[in-house]
Each structure stands twice: as C-alpha cells, then as structure tokens.
Chain A
C-alpha cells in the first residue's frame, strides 16, 4: 500500500501510460518516474496486470454466481450433441444437399472435442469458407461462449504458418466495444486453420436497418459507430479488408459489432507468392475476399490499404441507404437506385459522400475512415460536407464567369458575398434534401442569388448602407421572406466585415425578425445569425468607446466569423475567383 502522495503519482503515471499505444507504455512510465525509480516496479506491475485481456473482473458478480448452472446446461448440451452426432450429421446432409458429406462427417467428429482451449458444442453454419461452430472456452474461472471458425483451406508452408501466428497476436490486441474479440487461432492436425472469437448474436446490418426501418439519419448514426471501430483498428495498423454487411452484426440493443477483422489477411497474407494462385483459391471455394464487396484495387491484386476499408464502408453505406447493393462498376448513385420515396433524402450530400468513398482510384477516396466519419457527422449536423467542396467551387466559378461582375466590384467583396451565399445555399439544399420544405424554398434561394447578383452590378460600392437597396429589398422581396433573409444575411456579413456594424446590426436583426415565425432562414442557420449579430453589436460598442478603432482588427473579426460558416467553400471560391477573373480579363 502506498502513502497518499505516492499513490496519486502512481495513479497519474499509470493513467497516462494506458492512454499510450501498448509499445510506448513502458517508455512512458520510465520517463515519468525518472526521479522516482522506487515507484517504477509497482506501476510496471499494474501495467502488466492491466494487459491481461480477460479476467473475472470483466464479468459481474451475479454472472459469476450464475456460472455453475450454465456449466451444467453446457455439459448436457455437449452430451446430447455427441450422442446424437451421427443423427445430426445425417440430418444436415439431408436438409442441405449442397453441403458435402465430408463436412457433416467432420462436424460430427469435432463436436465435443477440444480445439485450443475451447470445447466444441455445436455446428452453427457451414459455407464456402468452412464451418462455424459454437464453442465454449474456460479461461481461469470464467466460461465464455465462442464462435470457432474452421477454415476449409489448409496452410501448407511453414512460413505461412509462422505468419499466421504473428498476425493472430496483432488481432488479439484489438479490443473495442464494437469489434468482435478475436480470442485464439491455430491449426488442426489435418492442417485446417481455425479461429476462435467471441460469439455474438445479431443480425447483419442490412437486415437490422430493414427491420427497424431506419431513416438516413439513423443509418448514418449507426455507420458512425462502425467507422469508429474501423478507425480504432486502423490506428493499430489492422485493416479489415473484407467489410460487407454480413461482417457487421447488430445486436438487439442496436449496437453493431464487426466480425472477421483482418481475417482476410490471415488467410492470404499479401506479398507472398500465393497471390499468384488466387484463381485456384477462388475455384476451390475459398475466395480470399468476397468478390461482390471487393475494391477495384483488390481485383487488380494490389495490396489493400486504408482506402480499401473506406471503399468497403462506402459499399455498406450505399446498400443501407439505397436498399440494394451497389453495382460492380460503381456508376450509379444511391439516390438513383433507391425507391422513389427515399431518393430525395439521398440526393446531394449523401450521394456525394458515398461517391467519394467508392471512387475507383483509391487516392480520390477519403484519405481515412476518420475523414469519412467526419463528413457523415457534418451531414448529421447540417454542416457543409467536404465531399461537396470541389463541385461547389466549380459551380461558383461557373456562375462568376456568367455574370462578369469582377470588373465593376472588388474581388474581395465578391468572394465574401459568394462564400456567404453559397454557404447558405448549400445549407438550404440540405434542408430540401430532408424534404421539409419543397421547391418554394429553392426558388427563393434563386431569387436571393439573382437579387444579390444585380446588387453587385448596380448596388454601388456599399450596397449594405444604400437607401436605394433597402427600398428595392422592401419592394422586390416583400413576399419572399426566405430570399429577403438570405439577402439580409449576406449584406449584414459584408457590412460587418467592412466595419460597418450599425448596418450589419440592422440587416441581421431584420433577418432574425423575418425568421422568427418559421419562415425565412432555416432554423439551423439561426444560431449563426445570432452569433454574427452579437459580434456586430460588440464591435459597434467598441467603436463607440474607442473612435480610433483599427480597421484591420475589424476585418479580421469579420473574416474570422465568416470562416466558421462558409469555411471550406469560402476559401475554395476565393482562389477560384481570382484565377477565373484573371483568365476573363486576358481574354
């Protein structure tokens, strides 16, 4: 037992260390305790204990007390099974004629037998890869249900076997709530490799989504959890390589679990000459990857990468959103395959996210699962998604080319206005995609765009404070609350950026007033406008007290706030505009 101050130190050092990757932990504690080497040993012991992957403490006391009866039940089951082994074998052959008798016979042999430290209880399923058995494992004092996968394929060479052993250690270190725990692996006397993993009950993710009739938001939330698990593994340098709906089970609680992490690699390590024998592997009924869900680079026989799993996640996302699997060529968008009623919600951002995940060129996909997840999260939060960035900039450039505003007004003004407008416009499109408003809002956004375009041509150098402009807003946009609020927002931002807080306040207040009764701005945009208004107010207060206000600071504030919203789009448009203007002039 440690004295209090020592204990606090032990605690801190330990807690810091467990947050490190396993390899870096020892180093971390040695560094932290360089002046207290007497505490090194206790912390080291704690660390060693913490790396015990399974312990009775991970169960609950009640479950432990419940164990004995479970054991009896399991014993009975085993006896029952072995007694009727021949019967079950013959029934399985008669029910599924496609299953070869040899499998049935071997399953009869295996039931009741030990594989590793697991006892085989019953056959769960059998398929192209081999058979899956329900087993039980006794570790210390805890019993655990396990699934044992017995592969059809033999591992013949010593080198492959060694590789297999090395891999399995990595897999065993993947401990995550949403990844099925890999427990053990080995090779039977007859050369058939086996894998033991945690036994999970659940439905394939597609089936779960169908039964729960999850909407796109629900699907995206579920996929975020899946992404999290994949990202966790990637951070530990483990790729899944075979992501597909059947490998993502969802428990009744709605919690997803990923199966067979890295198993594809166990079966067929890359960079070995066996790659050349893929075709024979495939014909022997054990494809190293599932053809329908394989990525283009896997088809080409190139090594898998993070982008391979991004592709896999994209396929799953496609299938969940559209309700049917993506076609091999990947030419169609989810919204083009979905039933008519669901199409609208997918068009736009979700289409773009799926499309970017499925790009044929791995480099054009999201650079990481994290990036994909971030975009999904942005979609959930109604923020502009990055998958859209390029098209938005293109659209803006095209638009600018059409209206040659650049000659009349300064480039900065245009870019800021455009960034604000497009940012808002994109938000609007999302709102539309959610089918909450319909075409009315869209046409109003167009009106706003046209109106602002005209202002740029004829609104004078400071349209936000022109009485003429105010009059035009009042007359031309009187019955278009959405358009008016958009125009006011754009003008207010511009005024604010130029240090004219008084005008900014007027525009923002008016935009909020229009939107107060549910018309006008999308309610998701309101907090932004309120923030802008508050900023304008405090800026105006500053100007009142200190007449010497530095204009640079003002501009900074304006841009800073703008960046929070139109962010990526703004920057993209900025550069696009300048180049476009340049070519426009030279022509």
Chain B
C-alpha cells in the first residue's frame, strides 16, 4: 500500500530528479499520514484500484496545493530578495488549477476527477483508461475538454 503511494509520488515529482525540496518520501509520508487519518490500512488495501488512485490523487492534490500555497506565502513575505520567477509561478499555477478545478467539479464532476488523476495524481491517460475502463480515445477526448475548460477559466481569471 505504502509502495503504491510511493510509486505515485515518485512519478508525480518526475523520475529524474528525486532530490529537491519536496522529496517523494516526504510527500508520501504526508499523504500517507493524511490517508491513515481517514481509513485503516486494511480498508485502504481493500479498495479497488480506481478508488485507490482517486483517493491518493485527491490527497496528493491537497498536499501539493497546501505546499504551493505556503511556498507562495513565504515568498511574498520575503520580498526583499526577488524570488526566481519559476518558484512562485509553479506554485501559483498549482493554486490556480486547484481553484479552477473546484469550479469544474461543480460543472462536471467526472471531468474534475480526470484532471485530479492526471495533474495531481500523475497518472497517464492510458493508465486512467485502464483504471476507469473507458477507452483511451474516450479518456483523451475528455481530457481535451477538461484541459480546454481549465485553460479557458484560468485565462479569464488572469485577465480579470
């Protein structure tokens, strides 16, 4: 179970560089603790793969957005030295996606789940197809729509 989470987290952070501030282990620990808060490990082990992936992705979403928000906040307070642009922007995007995703969930919960699995859970479209039993083509079409919806929403937000 822990392994499954670790695998998800490692992928989430990109295979090639394990050694940055938010290490997979740290992320996994944090996610694991939050999961364990919710359910017993037996219960977790009994979950069907799709539900596990969903649950893990939504936990990761929380861990990552919390992290992003706090990082953004830290940067804002330490304004004296202008931060590397990427620092705040990566974090800012995550926060923006998180916000937009909330709206998308109201419009179409299914699409929001797909984004959560992919963007926060780090699953590939092919994996999502396998998990949900939909065809890759269907998943791809849905992803196109979800992506377009979010980009559109985020673009409007920024314009405002």
Docked pose: A70 CA to B13 CA in angstroms: 12
Is A435 positioned at the interface, with any CB of B under 8 Å from its CB?
A: no
A42-57 to B contact mask, C-beta < 8 Å, 1/0: 0001111110100111
Which of A7-15, A281-289, A566-574 lines the interface with chain B? A7-15
Cβ-neighbour of B152 out of A46, A61, A69, A143 (below 8 A): A46
Minimal beta-carbon separation of A561 from chain B (angstroms): 30
A47 near B148 (CB under 8 angstroms)? yes
A50 near B144 (CB under 8 angstroms)? yes
Is A279 positioned at the interface, with any CB of B under 8 Å from its CB?
A: no
| Docked complex: B82-140 residues within 8 A CB-CB of A | 84, 86-87, 89-94, 97, 103, 106-108, 115, 118-120, 122
Is A62 positioned at the interface, with any CB of B under 8 Å from its CB?
A: yes
B22 near A57 (CB under 8 angstroms)? no
Most buried by B among A1, A48, A67: A67
B122 near A141 (CB under 8 angstroms)? no
Docked pose: A195 CA to B119 CA in angstroms: 30
Is A68 positioned at the interface, with any CB of B under 8 Å from its CB?
A: yes
Minimal beta-carbon separation of A229 from chain B (angstroms): 15
Most buried by A among B65, B106, B144: B144
A61-77 to B contact mask, C-beta < 8 Å, 1/0: 11111111111100000
| Docked complex: A65-92 residues within 8 A CB-CB of B | 65-72
Is A160 positioned at the interface, with any CB of B under 8 Å from its CB?
A: no
Interface size on B (CB < 8 Å)? 47
Q: Which residue of A lies closest to B75 (CB)?
A: A68
A63 near B13 (CB under 8 angstroms)? yes
Minimal beta-carbon separation of A179 from chain B (angstroms): 16
Minimal beta-carbon separation of B136 from chain A (angstroms): 10
B152 near A45 (CB under 8 angstroms)? yes
B interface, CB within 8 angstroms of A: 9, 11-14, 17, 20-22, 27, 60-61, 64-65, 67-68, 71, 84, 86-87, 89-94, 97, 103, 106-108, 115, 118-120, 122, 141-142, 144-145, 147-152, 155
Complex A-B, nearest 5 residue pairs according to Cβ-Cβ distance, in ascending order: A62-B12, A50-B148, A141-B89, A64-B90, A68-B87
A interface, CB within 8 angstroms of B: 1-2, 7, 11, 14-15, 18-19, 45-50, 52, 55-58, 60-72, 141, 143
A50-B144, A64-B93, A67-B87 known; 7 new pairs, CB 8 Å cut-off, are A7-B107, A15-B142, A15-B145, A60-B118, A62-B9, A62-B122, A69-B21
